[in-house]
Amino acid sequence: MIFTVGIIVSFIVYVFVGLILSRKVQNSEEYYVSGRSGSTLMITGTLVASFLSTVSFMGEAGFSYEGYPILLLILVIFNASGYVFGVFLFGRYLRRSQSLTVPEYFGNRFQSNKVRMAAAITTVLGIAAYLVAVTQGAALLLSEISGVSYAAALLIMWIVYSSFTILSGARGVMVNDTIMFFLFSIATYLAFPFIIKAAGGFPDAITKAAHLPARPDLLSWHGITGSGAYMGTPWEALAWAVIMGLVWGAVVAISPWQCSRYLMAKNEHVAIRSGVWATISIITIYLFLHISVSTITTIKADIAPSEKVFVWAAMNIVPTWLGVIIISGIMAAALSSCSSFLQLIGSSITRDIMEQSRNKTYSDKQLLRASRISRICIRRGNRCGTDVPGKNLAASSRSGRSQRNGRYAQVSRVFDDKRHYGYRRYIRILLLACFSYYAVAEKRIYRTFYALSRCKKGSVFPAYLFCENHEKRRRRKEEMRSREEKGLRLFLH
């Protein structure tokens, strides 16, 4: 009961913050990018909070509990470094563009409404699938802890994060993300000494976990390998961690739900500092979380499903007041991701799809109204997509390997069910149609390669993203040439 009360109190705080900040939203820039007033703390908070979700504190915690904490930390090193590369190679230029959305930046960069429309459509489709998965995971957790039905938990989640996102836009999302960032960070850091003490104290807890007969090689760099294990050989495990880390590092660097946070920064320096601090925060949170989770095996080695290990520790190991903070922090991680996804989808629909398809410029008042309506429609659609019969967390968890695939766990949890086969096929058809549209309808691809070959910068990747449009440079050169010729004629005359 006390855990449910803690969750309800945190929900009320988030909604109250959204109501207060909604009074300060006066124009589209404040609604879309928080008036570009984000400080280093705010941008760092929203970067980390939008990245971490129930997958981090449940799915990946269970992965460490089963015998792969060091392997996951190797993955996170490559993963978190995406913030540094992303902000230096893309984020600061995105902030310099003064765009309101990421698709708008690409449309202006290539002087093409088709590119902007394609970027907006792919953003909406991709983020919507992730929004459905995270919402379902959060609703399952809330249903398990509070005892309410799955449908009621889904409705509560929808009301909470939709309310402050729709009312206050990016400003409410950024402030609430920062609050949630502090909540689950404090929960992770404070839980570490209590769990280590319960496992025997430092360094005995680490020693016992490293020599545990039930899980040999638990704290080795490759984790549990061999016949019957999830990983085959040690080098296969390392290759998996490096490849997944590089892939998710690229996602962190340039994905819309991460790089769009830089549009809220006060300036480029704030964006760069935020990217560096986000890297440090992600690595430290994962380090404290997964080392402490791995030692829980010495206390109880048969927690099933393994995704509940951190929740079990909050209810059985740490003090009650800290357990309330941990449970509220896990729910905050889910809410922060959902609100960021919803804010990004609504902005792309109204700013990039609706305006460009109608070839019409809307006033700030019309944009605000359309953005709020579109986000309500999105949430109703996602609620229908996740409205499946209620079931507890243990029944919904896959004991097989789909749960061990890190951040894809919850997406696969939605799509693995045969009842969702039609929905899965629908998503595939839409994605295929979207990419086909981009490949066939965009007739300026040759101009892109021409721009790459003519850019002054040597590297192809920075040139593709950041160099000036080659048409503008060509016009400038022609103007300078005409001035020189005119001056020469006057001199000869």
What are the tokens at 303? 């927690």
CB of 170 within 8 A of CB of 264?
yes
- For residue 247, CA distances in Å to 76, 81, 82, 456 come to 11, 11, 9, 29
pLDDT value of position 457: 41
State residue 210's pLDDT score.
86
How far is 425 from 421, CA to CA, in rounded Å?
6
- What local confidence, expressed as pLDDT, does residue 163 receive? 87
pLDDT at 245: 93
**Stated pTM of the model:** 0.74
Helices and strands (H, E) in the chain, number of each type: 24, 0
Helix extents (H) in 255-308: 256-259, 268-295
Asked if the peptide bond before residue 256 counts as cis, ω within 30 degrees of 0, the response is no
**Long-range pairs, 438-444, Cβ under 8 A, ≥24:** 438/114, 438/118, 438/122, 441/114, 441/118, 442/112, 442/114, 442/115, 442/118, 444/110, 444/112, 444/114, 444/115
Residues 393, 230: Cα–Cα separation, whole Å: 22
Would you tell me how many other CB atoms lie within 10 Å of the CB of residue 176? 28
pLDDT in tens, the chain (493 residues): 789 999 999 999 999 999 999 888 888 788 888 889 899 999 999 999 988 888 889 889 998 998 889 999 999 999 999 999 999 999 999 999 988 889 989 888 888 888 888 888 988 888 888 888 888 888 888 888 888 888 899 889 888 988 888 888 888 999 999 999 999 999 999 999 999 999 888 888 888 888 888 788 888 888 888 777 777 788 888 999 999 999 999 989 988 889 999 999 999 999 999 999 999 999 999 999 999 999 999 998 888 888 889 999 999 999 999 999 999 999 999 888 888 888 888 888 888 887 666 565 655 555 555 555 555 555 555 545 444 434 444 333 333 333 334 433 433 333 333 333 344 444 444 444 444 444 433 433 334 444 444 444 443 334 434 444 555 666 777 777 777 676 666 656 5
